[in-house]
């Protein structure tokens, strides 16, 4: 599915918000091409020792479920109701006020009522009532309960893979009910019977074996980073070193593999390399822990833990003092809210202290992992970087807060501080679409694949509309972010809705503006584009 | 099920309660059961139900620290953090919870998203917040005012509240503001649910039943206060009898009073079991009541089980030759 096959933007935006005539329990899923993701290839399930590897397609009548699939799901629900207070509570206390409804980008973009977070949750809540509450057992549909059937399972698959776990609904819910929690558990249950998508499981399987989502082998990683060093030399005349698997480094640097693999993430990665060279940081990349992202988050809590374990293990093996993490959204959700709990305590590491400024990162005292924008903001604040923002004068920037740093950390000011010091033309999008109210790129949580393109364009529509407004008002031509998934998914979104807007990481802006010792006169930015103000 | 059907069934359910009240008014035995036995039964169901509910929630651990952050986190000292929307300590979390419980902070964010002429427009949508809060505060005021039946002498706070509530001094007895706002809130919530197609689509029987039941409680109360006065002394005697565990059945309290009582009893007994348990659940919501300090302090998971990982040794064993070929250091030659 490519952009050509999906409706034109003018048609796509004609969204019908009228609910169907039939009640939601009686409206079956229509697996329309362009709105779902391919199932996981058997080899990936086998590699991860996950149940029910087989060839199947969501459009098939027979999903080749295990014979006792119902028992597996219900036992799985019971177990998780006992393990997660969030799950049990969120099954019980929703009053269906509907405040969450038009907060979901997939609902806004599709008009499908089952994309209202409340109804997406009811898909599983109705089963919870039927099998786990007295009223549901006695009164059935009247109590909002229904039997677990294959059709219900298919509905779960369709809609739990039409949720990017962005948590925007939970900002507006009066009880803080978080659809991400419900989707995460829903996906765990689906995984128990082998209903999962390849765009999540292939990166997970790759990451487990090779250390990164893309399956890049050690030599390949080195080549790519060296290639970026060549590009840096070409743009700046400065040769930066690329330390990999170096014992005795002070700091282990972990970033999403997309940063050294694909444009425009590579420009961000060049920014890191230049920065670390310029301040003389004693750091290292790792090939074993060559992935910051964690598609386990989109699979199950267990898989998240399995993949995340490498970071601490590698920090211990290399004997570093602490860990620095690159720009990535869901990676930081895992590091900030899960890593220490799952794989800590990191008592073999030291409390993070910037070797350049001496700043103690108190907020990372236990996890011992610092976000690179925190690290860089501190450098700038202490005057340790020489910056020439005019080198970004050809960029008219707006900033997209990525879901996870926004709603699972509260990382708002640090990236803006770096932007303020590296970029002269910065314009915020509408208040309702930034910071904790930021809209998802529409393709996170493993949904950023080509076959799901129509749904991505629908889900990304609210973000794109907000960008379009600042394009029209301020002539914005660049969309900044601190997320590798954004850097992969926003470019096609922009091409579709707002052509002419490129996507950039914050450290790319820093790389452009960074005045390096011994550099030649810069005539191009990191993309090799001329540094000159765009003609108005 | 069609929404109209659901509303009719909810009305029928409330009518069934009215039938029970009629029986209580007609039969002496039923009246005795309602006034002497039912109050204790209902109270027991409510208390035990609530305790059961809360314990069930509380027994499930909070494996991960997952607050939804709605403001700048506490990070570098020169960056102004938002101590309430992104609590860095217990005080902030308490403040955040207080905002949610007393002011419905999150609901206050509500905005409406629409597509107008191919543009996305955000409209203010504070109606749900305003009427929702008004409804809840009114309900609380009404409940507190009823304490005048249960205390002798009446606690000053209740007298004060009643005076304040009736300060408009319209009619005799005075019209209470909270009664009017309660009805207005109920009307808004009901109409919103029954009229807006999206909300109607997600509504269940319990949603309508709760509103109709509370409306019926309010209506019967208002009828007794303003149109068909009951013997307040008899009501007070009965209520004080309950409190002192020596209840005496009223001689003839009338159908309306029995109906009011029946409806209230059903409401109270149902509270812990349906969606109305949100009144307790909100306090346990992990996205709201947790401090955002998971990198500062390790959060413990009660069931943190070991998992199968891919160790560095396994990794190097597979890729050793490739690593050596690329000039990368290895542990074992």
- Is A287's CB within 8 Å of B323's CB? yes
Question: What radius of gyration do chain B's Cα atoms show?
Answer: 28
Residue A503 Rama label (left phi>0; alpha psi -120 to 50; beta): beta
Question: Is residue A1 pLDDT above 60, yes or no?
Answer: no
Residue of A nearest to B119 (CA): A465
Q: DSSP alpha helices (H): ranges in A319-361?
A: 329-334, 340-343
Percent with pLDDT over 70 in chain B: 100
With CA atoms as reference, report the closest residue to A56 among A159, A188, A205, A190: A190
**List of chain A residues whose C-beta atoms are within 8 Å of the C-beta of residue B297:** 365-366
Query: Could you name the CATH architecture of B3-325?
Result: Up-down Bundle (1.20)
Pairing of strands A322-325, A478-481: unpaired
Distances (CA, A) of B70 to A431, B87, B105, B124, B288: 13, 9, 11, 19, 10
Cβ neighbours of residue B276 closer than 8 Å, sequence gap 6 or more: A95, B210, B270
B76 touching chain A per CB within 8 A: yes
Nearest CA in chain A to B97: A175
What pLDDT is recorded for position A4?
58
Position B168 confidence tier, pLDDT thresholds 50, 70, 90: confident
Token pair, residue A507, equals 């450290």
pLDDT band at residue A535 under the 50/70/90 scheme: very low
Residues 334 through 373 of chain A touching chain B, CB cutoff 8 Å: 335-338, 340-342, 344-345, 359, 361-367, 369
Q: Report the pLDDT value the prediction gives residue B251, as an integer from 0 to 100.
A: 77
For residue B310, the chain A residue with the least C-alpha distance is A208
pLDDT, tens digit, for every residue of A243-258? 999 999 999 999 999 9
In which band, very low, low, confident or very high, does the pLDDT at A209 lie, cut at 50, 70 and 90? very high
Residue of A nearest to B125 (CA): A99
Under the banding of pLDDT at 50, 70 and 90, the label for residue B120 is confident
| pLDDT at site B31 | 87
Instruction: Find the CB nearest A173 among B106, B273, B318.
Output: B106
Q: What percent of chain A has pLDDT over 90?
A: 98
Contact residues for A291 (Cβ-Cβ < 8 A; gap 6+): A207, A211, A212, A213, A254, A256, A257, A307, A310
Contact flag A143-B204 (C-beta cutoff 8 Å): yes
Least confidently predicted of A155-164, A278-287, B120-129: B120-129
Task: Give which of B11, B16, B113, B305 to mutate to test A binding, by max A Cβ within 10 Å.
Answer: B113
pLDDT, one tens digit per residue, over A512-523 is: 999 999 999 999
In chain A, where the domains are located? 3-30+51-195, 204-513
A498: helix, strand or coil: coil
Give yes or no for residue A2 having a pLDDT over 70.
no
Please write the tens of the pLDDT for every residue from A362-400: 999 999 999 999 999 999 999 999 999 999 999 999 999
Residue B1 has pLDDT above 90, yes or no: no
Burial of B19 (0-12, 13-18, 19+ CB in 10 A): exposed
| Residue B116: per-residue pLDDT | 87
- For the residues A265-276, what does the mean pLDDT come to? 98
* The pLDDT of residue A3: 58
Q: Which of residues 238-277 of A touch B (CB under 8 A)?
A: 244-247
Any A CB within 8 A of B37 CB: no
**Element counts in chain B: helices (H) and strands (E):** 15, 2
Mind listing the pLDDT tens digit for each residue in A16-33? 999 999 999 999 999 999
- Mean pLDDT, rounded, for B48-69: 97
Residue A536 has pLDDT above 60, yes or no: no
| Average pLDDT of the segment spanning B230-249 | 92
Q: How far is A19 from chain B (nearest CA, A)?
A: 6
Task: Give tens-digit pLDDT for A135-185.
Answer: 999 999 999 999 999 999 999 999 999 999 999 999 999 999 999 999 999
The pTM assigned to this predicted structure is 0.96
Residues 75 through 134 of chain A touching chain B, CB cutoff 8 Å: 81-89, 92-99, 101-103, 108, 113, 116, 118-119, 122, 134
Residue B65, helix vs strand vs coil = coil
B2 touches chain A (CB under 8 A): yes
Which residue in the block uniquely carries the two structure tokens 């309508």?
A: B208
- Mark yes or no for CB contact B68/A178 under 8 Å: yes
B75 touches chain A (CB under 8 A): yes
Q: What secondary structure, in 3-state letters, does A107-118 show?
A: HHHHCCHHHCHH
Partners of residue A440 on adjacent β-strands:
none
| Residues 97 through 126 of chain B touching chain A, CB cutoff 8 Å | 100, 104, 106-107, 109-115, 118-120, 122
Asked whether the beta carbons of residue A245 and residue B328 sit closer than 8 angstroms, the reply is yes
pLDDT value at A534 more than 60: no
**pLDDT of the residue at B173:** 87
Evaluated on CA atoms B198, B199, B200, B201, the torsion sign reads positive
Across the interface, do B107 and A174 touch by the CB < 8 Å criterion?
Answer: yes
Out of A3-7, A109-113, A229-233, A411-415, least confident range: A3-7
- Asked if the C-beta of B5 comes within 8 angstroms of chain A's C-beta atoms, the answer is no
- At B175, is the pLDDT very low, low, confident or very high (cuts 50, 70, 90)? very high
Q: CB pairs below 8 Å between A and B: how many?
A: 313
Residue A533: pLDDT band (50, 70, 90) is: low
Q: Output the six-digit token pair for B17.
A: 């309660």
Minimum-distance CB partner of A219 among B196, B304, B322: B322
ipTM above 0.90, yes or no: yes
Which among A17, A99, A413 is the nearest to B107, CB-wise? A99
Query: Which candidate in B3, B52, B195, B201 is best for mutational testing of the A interface (most A CBs within 10 A)?
Result: B201
Contact criterion met (CB < 8 Å) for A414 and B62: no
Instruction: Return the number of other C-beta atoms located less than 10 Å from residue B325's C-beta.
Output: 11
């Amino acid at each position: 599915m490519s952009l050509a096959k999906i409706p034109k933007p003018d048609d796509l935006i004609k969204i019908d918000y009228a609910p169907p005539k039939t009640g939601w329990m009686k409206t079956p899923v229509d697996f329309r091409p362009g709105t779902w993701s391919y199932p996981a290839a058997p080899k990936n399930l086998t590699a991860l020792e996950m149940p029910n590897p087989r060839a199947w397609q969501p459009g098939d009548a027979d999903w080749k479920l295990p014979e006792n699939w119902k028992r597996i799901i219900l036992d799985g629900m019971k177990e998780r109701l006992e393990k997660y207070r969030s799950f049990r509570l969120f099954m019980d206390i929703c009053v269906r006020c509907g405040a969450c409804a038009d907060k979901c980008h997939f609902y806004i973009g599709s008009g499908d009522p089952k994309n209202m977070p409340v109804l997406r949750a009811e898909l599983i809540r109705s089963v919870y009532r039927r099998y786990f509450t007295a009223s549901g057992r006695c009164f059935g549909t009247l109590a909002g309960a229904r039997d677990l059937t294959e059709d219900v399972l298919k509905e779960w698959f369709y809609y739990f893979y039409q949720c990017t776990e962005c948590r925007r609904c939970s900002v507006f819910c009066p009880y803080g009910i978080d659809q991400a929690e419900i989707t995460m558990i829903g996906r765990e249950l689906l995984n128990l019977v082998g209903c999962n998508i390849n765009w999540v499981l292939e990166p997970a399987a790759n990451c487990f074996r090779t250390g990164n989502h893309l399956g890049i082998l050690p030599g390949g990683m080195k080549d790519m980073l060296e290639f970026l060093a060549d590009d840096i030399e070409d743009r700046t005349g400065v040769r930066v070193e690329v330390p990999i698997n170096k014992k005795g480094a002070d700091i282990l640097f972990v970033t999403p593999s997309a940063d050294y693999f694909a444009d425009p993430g590579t420009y961000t990665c060049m920014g890191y390399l230049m920065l670390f060279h310029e301040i003389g940081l004693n750091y290292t990349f790792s090939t074993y822990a060559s992935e910051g992202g964690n598609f386990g988050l989109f699979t199950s809590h267990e898989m998240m833990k399995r993949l995340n374990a490498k970071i601490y293990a590698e920090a211990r093996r290399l004997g570093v003092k602490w860990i620095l993490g690159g720009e990535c959204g869901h990676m930081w959700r895992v590091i900030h809210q899960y890593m220490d709990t799952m794989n800590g305590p990191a008592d073999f590491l030291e409390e993070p202290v910037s070797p350049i400024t001496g700043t103690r990162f108190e907020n990372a005292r236990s996890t011992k992992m610092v976000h690179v924008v925190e690290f860089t903001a501190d450098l700038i604040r202490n005057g340790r970087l020489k910056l020439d923002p005019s080198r970004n004068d050809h960029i008219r920037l707006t900033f997209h807060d990525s879901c996870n740093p926004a709603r699972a950390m509260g990382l708002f000011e640090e990236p803006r501080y770096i932007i303020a010091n590296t970029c002269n033309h910065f314009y915020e999008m509408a208040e309702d679409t930034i910071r904790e109210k930021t809209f998802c790129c529409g393709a996170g949580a493993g949904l950023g694949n080509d076959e799901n393109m129509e749904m991505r364009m629908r889900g990304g529509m609210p973000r794109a509309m907000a960008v379009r407004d600042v394009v029209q008002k301020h002539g914005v031509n660049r969309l900044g972010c601190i997320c590798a998934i954004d850097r992969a998914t926003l470019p096609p979104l922009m091409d579709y809705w707002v052509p002419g807007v490129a996507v950039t990481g914050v450290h790319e802006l820093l790389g452009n503006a960074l005045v390096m010792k011994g550099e030649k006169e810069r005539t191009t930015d990191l993309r090799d584009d001329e540094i000159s103000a765009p003609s108005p | 099920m069609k929404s109209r059907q659901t509303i009719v069934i909810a009305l029928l359910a409330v009518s069934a309660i009215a039938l029970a009240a009629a029986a209580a008014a007609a039969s002496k035995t039923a009246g005795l059961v309602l006034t002497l036995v039912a109050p204790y039964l209902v109270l027991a169901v409510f208390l035990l139900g609530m305790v059961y509910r809360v314990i069930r929630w509380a027994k499930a651990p909070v494996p991960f620290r997952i607050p939804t952050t709605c403001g700048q986190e506490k990070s570098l000292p020169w960056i102004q953090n938002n101590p309430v929307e992104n609590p860095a300590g217990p005080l902030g979390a308490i403040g955040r919870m207080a905002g949610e419980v007393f002011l419905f902070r999150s609901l206050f964010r509500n905005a409406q998203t629409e597509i107008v002429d191919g543009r996305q427009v955000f409209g203010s949508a504070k109606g749900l917040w305003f009427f929702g809060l008004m409804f809840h505060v009114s309900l609380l005021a009404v409940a507190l005012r009823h304490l005048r039946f249960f205390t002798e002498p009446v606690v000053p706070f209740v007298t004060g509240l009643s005076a304040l509530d009736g300060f408009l001094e319209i009619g005799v007895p005075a019209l209470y503001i909270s009664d009017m706002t309660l009805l207005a809130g109920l009307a808004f919530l009901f109409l919103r649910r029954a009229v807006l197609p999206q909300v109607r689509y997600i509504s269940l029987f319990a949603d309508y039943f709760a509103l109709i039941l509370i409306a019926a409680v309010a209506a019967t109360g208002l009828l007794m206060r303003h149109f068909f006065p009951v013997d307040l002394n008899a009501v007070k005697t009965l209520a004080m009898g309950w409190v002192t565990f020596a209840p005496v059945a009223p001689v003839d309290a009338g159908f309306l009073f029995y109906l009011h009582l029946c409806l209230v009893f059903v409401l109270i007994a149902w509270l812990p079991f349906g969606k109305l348990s949100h009144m307790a659940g909100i306090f346990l919501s992990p996205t709201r009541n947790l401090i955002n300090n998971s990198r500062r302090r390790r959060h413990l998971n009660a069931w943190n089980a070991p998992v199968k990982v891919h160790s560095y040794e396994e990794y190097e064993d597979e890729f050793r030759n490739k690593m050596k070929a690329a000039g990368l250091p290895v542990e074992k030659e």
